[in-house]
Amino acid sequence: MSSDGLYRHSPRTKRILWVLAPIVCPPEIIERDQLEPTINKMESFMQGLPSEIQWATVLGVTAFDMSAALYPQNMGKAFSELDGDKALKWFELWWHSPVALMREFAKKTKGLLVFAYYEQPEVSRELAYHPDRWIKTVAQRRIKKYEEEIRRKDEEVCQSDPLTAKMINETQTHV
């Protein structure tokens, strides 16, 4: 948490994510120089989460990092200190863990990073990802399809006593 009250990645969290993002995101993250922008975007996503989720995520990231040192093959190194192959193996160990908490952490953290990557303007442009256009198109289609039902509901709600009016309409229909 920063002095302005917003979540900020600590330097340690940034180091961990710097190693993790190339593992969970497409390889183009490095080629496109999108590693730091992706980590920054994840930080902005985290700002929108409740503080309990922020805290749990940081705790999970720290546990993920530090527990790697306990794994004999890692020779006392934290995840953020591992080379590519060992870091990948450590992530896969969590991804396939029989411990649900470890598996869920791996999936949720990957989800945040991948989402942050695909939100990068260069990446979304290349994918022709235009959610605003899609939302507008779908909204227009739905308004056209449900126009009559929307109009009826609007009239019902705008009556002086919509509950009584609805009950009268239902009574007349069932008689």
Q: Looking at the structure, tell me whether residues 69 and 137 fall in a common domain.
A: no
Q: Looking at the structure, tell me whether residues 165 and 103 fall in a common domain.
A: no
Domain that holds residue 54: 11-126
Distances (CA, A) of 150 to 109, 143, 167, 175: 40, 8, 19, 25
Q: Looking at the structure, tell me whether residues 76 and 146 fall in a common domain.
A: no
pLDDT for res 20: 97
Q: Looking at the structure, tell me whether residues 49 and 120 fall in a common domain.
A: yes
pLDDT tens by residue, 7-34: 999 999 999 999 999 999 999 999 999 9
DSSP structural state of residue 32: T
Strands (E), the chain: none
CA distance 167 to 37: 56
Among 63, 54, 57, smallest CA distance to 2 is for 54
Average pLDDT over residues 147-151: 87
pLDDT tens by residue, 65-91: 999 999 999 999 999 999 999 999 999
Confidence class for position 153, pLDDT limits 50, 70, 90: confident
Q: Looking at the structure, tell me whether residues 110 and 138 fall in a common domain.
A: no
Q: Looking at the structure, tell me whether residues 50 and 68 fall in a common domain.
A: yes
The overall pTM is greater than 0.75: no
Strands (E), 15-138: none
The number of angstroms, rounded, from the C-alpha of 163 to the middle of its chain's C-alpha atoms is 40
